[in-house]
Structure 1
Amino acid sequence: MLYRVMADAVVGLHLSFVLFVVFGGFLAWRWPRLAWLHVPTFLWVAGIEILGWICPLTYLENNLRARGAAGGYADSFVEHYILPLLYPELLFPGGFSRSWFIWIGIFVLGLNGLIYCQLWAKHRRQLGNF
């Protein structure tokens, strides 16, 4: 039971990380210093998606789930509703092609690139007003 709870906590952390990657640029618009944390995270995730790597949190979660397989419900809320959000191949039993992951990586780079270009322009305009 403890391993299942820990695995669910890792999934929650993983989901939070993914949400930060996607929406962190908007947060950096409000709090520019947050960019020092957000830029490396979105570059990391884009690299994972484009290069086909697997996030270390996935390995940790899988290890905890394997250790906790002895008891509890057959399917938890997290396993049923949140895991398919993090691992789209669970939504598409026939497979989630490699090109989709590359496009996800390109989307992450493009969205955050646009946000940071605008943030940089805003910063330059503010410097010019002094």
Structure 2
Amino acid sequence: MGYQLLTTVILVLHFGFLAYLAVGGFLAWRWPRTIWLHLLAAGWGVLVVAANLTCPLTAAEHWARRRSGQVGFDEGFVDRYLADVIYPEQYAWLARLVLALVVAVSWVGVLRAARRRHPRSSLRWRSSH
């Protein structure tokens, strides 16, 4: 029972991370200091995809499943729970592109909000004479 609960907790954390990856930049519109956390999350997401890394949460899920007597999966979290569920697997590239565009739009919004909060002061050149 304990490892099954742990598996569920890991799955919730993984879904939460992916949701934050998608909308964290928009949260930074309201809470600007959180942009650094979102930059780290996005960087990690890009690294996992680009380098074909196994996410530690995926490894932890597989470990907890095996400890609970279940069979671990050979596929990653996204392949198991999102591909062919949220989008057709052959359009994974499009899903990644849409996610990247959503993140880019959110970051543009963060920059615009920051400029509104802290407009650049206009420098006035004065003669020292």
**Is the TM-score greater than 0.5?**
yes
1:59-78 to structure 2, matched below 5 A, reads 59-69=59-69
Give the drift of 1:50: 4.3
1:46-68: per-residue Cα shift (whole Å, max 9, x none)? 33234433311011101110110
1:87 matches 2:81: yes
Match of 1:55 in 2: 55
Match of 1:80 in 2: none
Which has more helix, going by share of residues?
1
For the structure 1 residues 127 and 64, does the alpha-carbon distance in structure 2 shift closer, same or farther, using more than 3 Å as the test? same
Match of 1:74 in 2: none
Unpaired runs of at least 5, structure 1: 71-82
Contact 1:21 1:41 in 2 (8 A): yes
Equivalent residue in structure 2 for 1:111, among 90, 99, 102: 102
Identity of aligned residues (%): 25
Number of residue pairs matched by the alignment: 114
Instruction: Calculate the TM-score normalised by the size of structure 1.
Output: 0.71
For the structure 1 residues 106 and 58, does the alpha-carbon distance in structure 2 shift closer, same or farther, using more than 3 Å as the test? same
1:39 matches 2:34: no
1:61-118: per-residue Cα shift (whole Å, max 9, x none)? 0111011027xxxxxxxxxxxx7897224649xx834x61x33333332211121112
Aligned-CA RMSD value = 2.9
* Separation (CA, whole Å) in 1 of partners of 2:106 and 2:112: 10
For the structure 1 residues 105 and 53, does the alpha-carbon distance in structure 2 shift closer, same or farther, using more than 3 Å as the test? farther
Q: Which protein has the larger Cα radius of gyration, Structure 1 or Structure 2?
A: 2
* Separation (CA, whole Å) in 2 of partners of 1:52 and 1:31: 32
Task: Tell which deviates more after alignment, 103-112 or 39-48.
Answer: 103-112
* Separation (CA, whole Å) in 2 of partners of 1:126 and 1:47: 32
